Chain A
C-alpha cells in the first residue's frame, strides 16, 4: 500500500482520523457533561473533568484538521476545501458531507467562544455552548451516513458505544439536576 495521492492511502487516513475525531469528540462531550453535572469522587476532582474536556477539545480540532486535509488532498474524490465548511459544496455524497461541514462549523463556534470566554461573559458563552448538543449528533450522523465503513462491524460497534455512552451520561445529568438540595 503506497502513500501516493492516487492510491488508497489517503482514503485510509481519512477514515482513521475521522474515527479518532469521533471518539475524541465523544470523550469531550462526556467530560463536558460530567463537568456541568459536578461529578467528583475521591480520586477524580472536578477540575480534572474540566481540564480534560478543554484539552481533548483542542485535540479534536487537530485530528479534524488532519481528517479534512486528507480528504481534500485525496484526488480519488474531488472534494474542495470549501466543502469542509460550507454545506452542499461537494458533489460527492452531498448530504452526508454537508453534515460534516455543519458539525465542523458548530465546533469552531464552540471553541472560538470558549477561547474568548472571559471577554464574552458567562451568559453569552453558555448560550452558544448549548450547540454542543447539536454538534455531536450531527458528527455521528456524518460518520455513519457517509457509508464508507458502515458495514464494518467493529466501526459500527464503536459508534454505538459512543452513542450509548452519551445517552447514559445525559440521563445521569438530567436525574442529578432534578434532585433538590444545596450545591455540592
Chain B
C-alpha cells in the first residue's frame, strides 16, 4: 500500500494548517498555498498526514491509497 497526498486546489483557501502539521512534506508558497514537496507519504509520517488531512478546514488535503508492489 502506498499513500499519496493530493490537494484539491479549488477547495484550498491557503489556511496553512497542513504545513504546520506535516512540515516534512508540505511547504507553503509565497501566497500561503501548499506545495507538496513529495506527494508520497513515508510510512512513519502516515499518522501525521492523516491528522493534517483531518485538520484541513476545507477538507482540501486528500490521502489516496494505491495498492503498491510487494517488495
Given that A182-B31, A182-B32, A183-B14 are known contacts, is A46 also in contact with B59, CB under 8 Å in the complex?
no
Which among B11, B20, B33 has the highest number of chain A CB atoms within 10 Å? Answer: B20
Q: Which residues of B contact A50 (CB under 8 A)?
A: 17, 55, 57
Q: Which residues of B contact A38 (CB under 8 A)?
A: 15-16
Instruction: Indicate if B7 sits at the interface (CB-CB under 8 A).
Output: no
A184's partner among B11, B32, B55, B58 (CB-CB below 8 A) is: B32
Instruction: Indicate if B36 sits at the interface (CB-CB under 8 A).
Output: no
The interface size of chain A toward B, counting residues with CB under 8 Å, comes to 16
Given that A45-B20, A182-B31, A182-B32 are known contacts, is A118 also in contact with B55, CB under 8 Å in the complex?
no
Asked if B14 and A47 sit within 8 Å, CB to CB, the answer is: no
List which A7-53 residues lie within 8 A (CB) of chain B: 35-36, 38, 40, 45-47, 50-51
Interface of A is mostly: helix
Given that A45-B20, A47-B20, A47-B21 are known contacts, is A184 also in contact with B14, CB under 8 Å in the complex?
yes
Least Cβ–Cβ distance between B13 and chain A, in angstroms: 6
Asked if B59 and A183 sit within 8 Å, CB to CB, the answer is: no
Asked if A182 and B14 sit within 8 Å, CB to CB, the answer is: yes
Asked if B32 and A122 sit within 8 Å, CB to CB, the answer is: no
Instruction: Indicate if A150 sits at the interface (CB-CB under 8 A).
Output: no
Asked if A118 and B57 sit within 8 Å, CB to CB, the answer is: no
Instruction: Indicate if A117 sits at the interface (CB-CB under 8 A).
Output: yes
Q: Which residues of B contact A122 (CB under 8 A)?
A: 11, 58-59
New A-B pairs, 20, CB < 8 Å, besides A47-B55, A182-B14, A184-B14: A36-B57, A40-B16, A45-B20, A46-B15, A46-B16, A47-B20, A47-B21, A50-B17, A50-B57, A51-B55, A118-B59, A121-B59, A122-B11, A122-B59, A182-B31, A182-B32, A183-B13, A183-B31, A183-B33, A184-B31
A interface residues (Cβ-Cβ under 8 A, vs B): 35-36, 38, 40, 45-47, 50-51, 117-118, 121-122, 182-184
20 contacts between A and B (CB under 8 A): A38-B15, A45-B20, A46-B15, A46-B16, A46-B20, A47-B21, A47-B55, A50-B17, A50-B55, A51-B55, A117-B59, A122-B11, A122-B58, A182-B14, A182-B31, A183-B31, A183-B32, A183-B33, A184-B14, A184-B31
